[in-house]
Structure 1
Amino acid sequence: MADKCHLCLLGLIILSSLLTGTSGVNDTHMFISSGENVRLPCNNHLHDCKSTTWNYNNNNSASVELIGLGIKKKNTDRDERLSLGSDCSLIITNIIKEDYGFYTCRQYVNDKQQGTDARVYLHVLHVSSSSSQTEISAGSSVTLYCQLFSYTGVSCDDWIRSEGIQLFWVNQAGVNLTKSDSRYQISAPGHCIITLTTTLLNEDDSREWRCNITQGDQVKTSVTYTVKITGEKTISSISFRPL
């Protein structure tokens, strides 16, 4: 009886591995901040990139071919920011929030696909401000919106909750800004967005507020909002901090 149980368990392990292999063993998840550059891996095993095709998809559009057999397609909304690396990876410069989605690399020889798809899920962290002006008077209230743009086939909220991913606002010392701090109003309308509202003070000159995205204890990426004060004016800017 014990031998039969061991055989059943072995069979379940083999079946599980087979199912995993057909459901995305080559999938990669990458987190990036808007404004950064990124290199998406292709897992290419061929000698050159003339066999490489890159496709793109998200929940707002049909699949788009970005690279066809090593040649960059023109007239796409991002062709000037795309290039192929020597290893056939897809390089995207100056990431914008609309770049989120999944990218698929395929290798063809004599019109026959070689190997399996290498699919990269690109998750983009973006911060925006309630003020459209570059100069804000001291004493004004400002709201910062930190949002993760993501597409995995399910809603962003459902996916990051299942993966243990969270968004946090932290100060320049890396300390979490919590709802208990009376100076900051933190709100999370959903799992994929968190806002920070505060009134800017003169002593906020060069102060940083940073939005982190974490999975467990690991910070995946972050975006920093910095205030510069000149006289009675405050000048705000958004930047990213490479990890």
Structure 2
Amino acid sequence: MMRVLLMITSLLLTGVWCSEDSVFVYSRVGGDALLPCSNPVPSNCSLISWTLYEGSQVTYTHEVIKGQVNNNSDKSGRLSITANCSLHFHDLRVDDVGSYICFEGAKPISNVYLSLLTISALSSIADLQPGGSLILSCILFSFYDTGTCQPYSNDFSLSWVTADGAVLPRESRYELISRTRCNSTLVTKLLVEDNHRKWRCQLNATRNSRAVFQDFTSSFLFQNPSTDQEVPPSSLTVCSERQHVSHIVLCVALPLMVITVGFFTWRGGRHRTKTSAAEIQMQQIS
């Protein structure tokens, strides 16, 4: 037990906060991430292992052992080892957040901190309509507590942007509340044109030119009658013409159907009368 504690302590003191080999990787829930092992690339991936350390309580799991994904890990179906010994994630989840240490044999050679961006709506369905309020919470899940930023993670910023990445215009209907470095909430007064609109929370890292973002689409299930779009006159004309044609077809088809049914009913009755008369004559002859 003491040996394990000493090993964990030595690992935490070996570059978790100050080593040049520490790497910060940002992605989003449901996305992918590539965790590099080291630079230069190890010559033999069969000597490489990856261990995940989670949270301030320091619990750890072995995700890769001697170049092979650990089948006992609950992440094994979403992990793979690349040709340069990097750890590739897909379909990322919140519980994937943590500090990943790459070992060559028993020697730790790099630390990779994985953080994930999430976005959620705090509004009710009834609020998603013109005149209602859309409340979106953007949170970065980091190695420490959710939504809090430790001094080590000072190389990024969160912002709310349009679907194409442009800064939101300065309008009174946009309000930022409860904002910290890892937690930003946007409150918006919805307009008619906001139906099916994408709202984007974006993370920009100073050491990485590639921005990470998460989108939310506001879809209206209810809409005030005053804001419903009017049906174009051309559509009304088409509907009127179709109704007029259907009335004509109904007026012509219905009498024809009545005459046809009456004719076959009369013909069937006449046939039965002839059959009965013939049967009576046969009985008299016999």
Shift of 1:195: 0.4
After TM superposition, give the deviation of residue 122 of structure 1 in Å: 1.0
1:73-152 map, 5 Å: 73-108=70-105, 113=106, 116-131=108-123, 136-151=128-143
For 1:166 and 1:55, the matched residues in 2 are separated by 28
- Is the Cα contact below 8 Å between 2:120 and 2:138 reproduced in 1? yes
Distance change >3 Å, CA 96–CA 138, structure 1 → 2:
farther
The structure where strand makes up a greater share of residues is 1
TM-score normalized by structure 2? 0.61
The one of 169, 172, 188 aligned to 1:182: 172
Return the letter of the residue paired with 2:154: E
Report if aligned partners of 2:148, 2:180 keep a CA contact under 8 Å in 1. no
1:46 aligned partner: 43
Deviation at 1:52, TM superposition (A): 1.5
Quote how far apart the aligned CAs of 1:65 are.
Answer: 0.8
Q: Percent identity?
A: 27
For 1:70 and 1:215, locate their aligned partners in 2 and report how far apart those are by CA, in whole Å.
30
Structure 2 unaligned residues grouped into runs of 5+: 1-13, 225-286
Q: What is the SS of the residue equivalent to 2:95? A: helix
Contact 1:152 1:159 in 2 (8 A): no
Q: How big is each residue's C-alpha offset from its partner over 1:103-152, in whole Å with a ceiling of 9 and x where there is no partner? A: 011112xxxx35x421111121111111576x945544221111111127
- Within 5 A, what are the aligned runs for 1:7-46? 23-43=18-38, 44-46=41-43
76-85 or 216-225, which deviates more? 216-225
1:23 shift after superposition: 4.2
Deviation at residue 50 of structure 1 after TM alignment: 2.0
1:204 counterpart = 2:194 = yes
- Are residues 219 and 52 of structure 1, via their aligned partners in 2, closer, same or farther at CA, if it must alter by over 3 Å? closer
Q: Equivalents in 1 of 2:53, 2:164: separation in Å?
A: 38
* Counterpart amino acid of residue 65 in structure 1: H
Q: Hey, what does 1:163 align to over in structure 2?
A: 154
- Give how far 1:232 is off: 3.8
Distance 1:177 1:186 in 2: 11
Take 1:54 and 1:87, find their aligned partners in 2: how far apart are those partners?
13
Please, what is the CA RMSD of the aligned residues? 3.3
Q: Which is richer in helix?
A: 2
Could you list the runs of 5+ residues in structure 1 that have no partner in the other structure?
A: 1-18, 234-243
Partners of 2:18 and 2:150 in 1: how far apart? Answer: 19
Q: Quote the offset at 1:46 in angstroms.
A: 2.1
Query: How far apart, in 1, do the equivalents of 2:121 and 2:222 lie?
Result: 22
Count of aligned residue pairs for this structure pair: 205
